[in-house]
Chain A
Amino acid sequence: MAKRDESSELLRELVAHLRQNRTQLREEWVGSISETRLLTAMTKEEIFAEATSVYDSYVEALETETFEALQAYARNLSERIIPRGVETHEVVGIVLLLRDVLARSLFAKYQTDFKKLNRILDAYEPAANRIANTVAVGFVQERERVIRQQQEAIRELSTPVLQVRERLLILPIIGVIDPQRARQLTEQLLRGIRTNRAKVVVIDITGVAAMDVTVANHLVQTVEASRLLGATVIVTGLSPEIAQTLVTIGVDLGKMNTVGDLQGGIEQAERLLGYKVMALAEPN
């Protein structure tokens, strides 16, 4: 207990020192940030403004020994600087720089009293390391959140369900299909059938190079589920490998309507819907 009290006492003294020399230490820190060419994506004024708030949050975290406020600030800061291309090493770099600048100033202040310097550093170092940790983790978490959000967005974009004619939908699939994407695809298709009142759906998989057994089964299930909603599915653009997979898993080909390419698929769909497309004039 006594040791803890002493440590708090020392931290208080430390905080007072940091408050007193705020202007000078902050200048020093900003100086070393531009020297080491960190945060090049930001202007000098921005760096200075951010440095001021980081410095104050830093001192506050040292004083209160609670990290929630700092954590919230780190998250907020990350939200602002991630879109501008600031990297993890830069954020960790500036926090470590601040730690070093402050440690230097402690050396300068207590250089005559070596024992006291030792004790002060004992109190300062764990707190400073924890602060660095908090900021770095906050930044990385925010980045991961952004990445997850983008993945979600990409997935949404990658499965468009398009209506080409009254009651005819096409679903062009491009790229690798993993089970999760397959599930999402099915969901969107079934919902699309309902909202567009589709009778025929053309699923084009020209852009899919290969498909494992699970996903192939899923495709077959999607075809059957669509039928339960009253829609006929035509699958087009099967690559030789996928055709092989479908045969290997023993798909009942009576249930699957397949046509060589997208054009053929749309033509068959038009026949099913009773459309007749004809040229009104020779193309010029």
Chain B
Amino acid sequence: MEVPILKQGPVLIATFQAALSDADLNQLRSALVQQVVRFRSRGVIVDVTAMDVMDSFASRTLREIAHIIRLRGAETVIVGIQPEVAFAMVQLGLTLEGVATALDLEEGLAYLNQKFKTMK
């Protein structure tokens, strides 16, 4: 299942609908990277509220997305990680190092707006 990517001003929002296959994740990565360039976006929010499992592939892909997008000159925030998922991830050593995280979409947007202000 393809992940829809919405454009909201200078921000792209990708919302995970349910557990995704590895192919879907790869597709999301290339789609996001392309669209960041096309729309000249300054921020990306990946909303994972619907995910109740996060395996090592998914977490590695999220990290890669964040790093690639930084190289493209934009910021990434992962939002909506569930408490149980967060603790399970940490126990597996998947800590998303160097990636910004926020509680939910609202917090993620607030974080990016703050960033944009300081970047100006």
* Complex interface residues of chain B between 17 and 47 (CB less than 8 A to chain A): none
- Which positions 182-238 of chain A face chain B at CB distance < 8 Å? 186-187, 190-191, 193-194, 197, 199, 221-222, 224-231
By secondary structure, the A interface counts as helix
Would you call A224 and B90 a contact (CB within 8 A)? yes
Count of B interface residues, CB-CB < 8 Å: 17
CA distance A194 to B85 in the complex (A): 13
On whether the beta carbons of B86 and A225 are closer than 8 Å, the reply is yes
| Interfacial chain A residues near B87, Cβ < 8 Å | 186-187, 190, 221-222, 225
Most buried by B among A191, A197, A222, A227: A227
List of A residues within 8 angstroms of B95 by Cβ: 224, 227-228
Task: Report A96-125 CB contacts with B as 1/0, cut-off 8 Å.
Answer: 000000000000000000000000000000
| Chain A nearest CB, measured from B64 CB (Å) | 17
Q: C-beta contact mask, B96-108 vs A, less than 8 Å → 1, else 0?
A: 1000011100010
B91 within 8 A of A: yes
Tell me if A197 and B90 are in contact (CB < 8 A). no
List which A151-206 residues lie within 8 A (CB) of chain B. 186-187, 190-191, 193-194, 197, 199
A229 touches B91 (CB 8 A): no
CB of A230 within 8 A of CB of B107, answer: yes
Asked whether B51 is an interface residue with its Cβ less than 8 Å from the other chain, the reply is no
Given known contacts A190-B83, A193-B83, is B101 in contact with A229 (CB within 8 Å)?
yes
- Contact across chains for A194 and B90 when beta carbons are under 8 A apart: no
Q: Give A226's nearest chain B residue, CB to CB.
A: B86
Contact B81 A229 (CB under 8 A): yes
Question: Which residues of chain A are near B103, meaning CB under 8 Å?
Answer: 193-194, 197, 229-231
CB of A230 within 8 A of CB of B102, answer: yes
Complex CA gap A231/B86 in Å reads: 12
B79 at the interface (CB under 8 A from A): yes
With A and B bound together, what is the CA distance between A221 and B101 in angstroms?
A: 16
Q: Does B89 contact A (CB under 8 A)?
A: yes
Contacts of A229 in B (CB 8 A): 81, 83, 86, 101, 103
Residue on B nearest A188 in the bound complex, by CB: B83
B90: which A residues are within 8 A, CB to CB?
A: 221-222, 224-225, 228
**B91 / chain A contacts, CB cutoff of 8 Å:** 221
Which of A190, A191, A197 makes the CB contact (< 8 A) with B107? A197
Proximity bits, B60-81, A CB within 8 Å = 1, else 0: 0000000000000000001101
6 closest cross-chain pairs (CB), A and B: A190-B83, A230-B102, A228-B86, A225-B86, A230-B103, A221-B90
Q: What are some 16 contacts across the A-B interface (CB < 8 A)?
A: A187-B83, A187-B87, A190-B83, A190-B84, A191-B83, A193-B83, A194-B83, A194-B103, A221-B91, A229-B81, A230-B79, A230-B102, A230-B103, A230-B107, A230-B111, A231-B103
